[in-house]
Amino acid sequence: MNGYRLLISRDNIARIKPLQPARHIMPRRFSLRAQLVLIPTLVLLLALGAAIAATLSAAQDRIDDEVRSSMELGKRFAQAVISQIDDEAEFEVGLRTLESEFAQIRHAHLVVLRKGDMIRSGYLPAMWDETSDVPLWFYDLVSPPLQAEWFPIVVGGRTLGYTFMISNPLDEVTEIWEELSFLAALLVGLSLLIIFLLYWAVRRALKPLDDLAHGFDALEQGQLDTVLPPIRLAELEKIGLQFNSLAARLKQTADDNHLLIDRLMWLQEAERKELARELHDSFGPTLFGIRTDVAAIRRLARQNPALSTPIQDRTQSISETIDIIQKTNYRLLEQLRPLILDELGLFDALEQLVASWRERMPEIDWQFVASREQVVAPEETAALHIYRIVQESLTNIARHARASSVIVTIATLPRPAHTPTALPALRVTIADNGIGRPETFKMGFGLLGMAERVRLLGGQSRLMTTEGGGTMIDLSIPIGKIWSRS
């Protein structure tokens, strides 16, 4: 079986489909490129989140320490200023000194209330407002609980008012927000740079795998001259070398196989031609001589009336036998080497071939559609190959298709307008309305031989299913390589 697989042409290799894995057995997997990029990216994002979380935790401790320190400093400062007020005459001067000096202390605010009318001397600013650069959610996240302390102002044994100190960490939160914003922007930028470099490195590292995949696809399509570029990765370098070696061996094997097939076909046609010549040159004159002798015997028999009747009967039997032998000889000659192909050309040979099938199987509508003026006449070898392809196709249809209609079409295709360098081609189609290809269709020797003949002509062949369920063989043969106008 392996020996026959080498007979498949490049056109037919493209039709071979690989076995598909069972979906219920093989789980779906992510690509290697995605895994190599996503996993480090997730680790990097987790590290970034952990760094930000640690920074926030340290920021909360820092703000709490700063607020406690400021509140303690403000308390001592206020008590020191108040302790220097000796009498009520110095009370207002001392309060103004306290308020002006206390403004230098961060993260704390002072409110003074006088006894009696309790006139407000200080003010309590808002902890956060919409004009702040710090978003409210961040302020609520890192700010410690509000701290407040109060104590009376006693001068000469009398309580003249009260002082209130309230914590306000907005300044410290603003600094931390700016630092954290810069740090987050820097980390995000570095992370994006790392992800980009990682993606670039992974893509560059895995490019040889893509090249290998494309190479195997090309081999599957029959492009056996595929060569991979050198792989610079040490882990994959050997695989690339082995792939190129495999492709070269496959191409060499295919070329040797095609050369052998070409030689076998040439020998086959040469042997057929020699047999046809021997049958024509030997059997023809011999049978003609026998027929001449029979005619002479009949003339002699007429001179002897007593023997005329039995001799006439025997000579008639001999003539009928000669007719049968001549018809058989002519049929063998047509199979070995159609004489009309050499005498009148491909057009008339195909027309007669279709007509012969029409006589043998009149229940099938055999049609030959072509325009003699528009068909280019091929040289002898090409005409013979095309005739054999059509002959094999019609034989297969008669044996297997169960068709009621068969159409053979031949026409010359013009040069494509979008590819001016392309050659015009001869198109030959053989279509039927039969049962089509079975589900278990396999390429037989007949179809393989047809494909090899098309390959020898430098053309392309397609085996298709028609809209009605039948089968059509579509051949396209470039004219410029092997054709000449007759």
In a domain, 482, yes or no: yes
Identify the residue whose tokens are 């490129």.
33
CATH number of the domain within which 354 lies: 3.30.565.10
Which of 192, 211, 245 corresponds to the end of one domain? 192
CATH number of the domain within which 172 lies: 3.30.450
Residue 31's identity, in one-letter code, is: S
In a domain, 214, yes or no: no
Q: Indicate the pTM of the whole model.
A: 0.46
In a domain, 425, yes or no: yes
Contact call for residues 152 and 118 (beta carbons, < 8 A): no
List the pLDDT tens digit at each of the 486 positions of the chain.
333 333 334 344 344 344 344 444 444 566 777 888 888 888 888 888 888 888 888 888 888 888 888 888 888 888 788 777 777 667 777 777 777 777 777 777 777 777 654 545 444 455 656 667 788 888 878 877 877 777 787 777 777 777 778 877 877 888 888 888 888 888 888 888 988 988 888 888 888 888 888 888 888 877 888 888 888 878 788 888 888 888 888 888 888 887 787 787 777 777 777 777 777 667 777 777 887 878 888 777 777 776 677 777 777 888 888 888 877 777 777 667 676 777 778 888 888 889 989 998 999 999 999 876 656 666 777 888 888 889 889 988 998 888 999 999 988 876 655 555 556 678 899 999 988 877 666 666 777 778 888 888 888 888 888 887 889 999 888 875 444 433
CA 11 to chain CA centroid, Å, is 19
Domain with 164 in it:
32-192
In a domain, 300, yes or no: no
| Strand-pair category, 460-465 with 471-478 | antiparallel
User: How far, in Å, are 70, 127, 135 from residue 172 at the CA level?
Assistant: 11, 12, 14
Which tokens sit at 412? Answer: 């010359």
Which tokens sit at 390? Answer: 């059509």
Which tokens sit at 182? Answer: 């810069």
Beta bridge partners of 407: 367, 431
Residue 342 CA to residue 384 CA, distance in Å, equals 9
Contact call for residues 91 and 152 (beta carbons, < 8 A): no
**Residues 189-226: b if buried by 16+ CB within 10 A, e if exposed:** eeeeeebeeeeeebeebbebeebbeebeebbeebebeb
Residue 316 CA to residue 298 CA, distance in Å, equals 9
Which of 192, 216, 245 corresponds to the end of one domain? 192
Neighbours of 23 (CB within 10 A): 8
In a domain, 330, yes or no: no
Contact call for residues 166 and 146 (beta carbons, < 8 A): yes
Q: What are phi and psi of 87, to 5 degrees?
A: -145, 175
In a domain, 262, yes or no: no
Which of 192, 208, 229 corresponds to the end of one domain? 192
What stretch of H or E contains 460? strand 460-465
Task: Please count the structural domains in the chain.
Answer: 2
E strands in 323-417? 365-370, 405-413
In a domain, 370, yes or no: yes
Residue 227 CA to residue 245 CA, distance in Å, equals 9
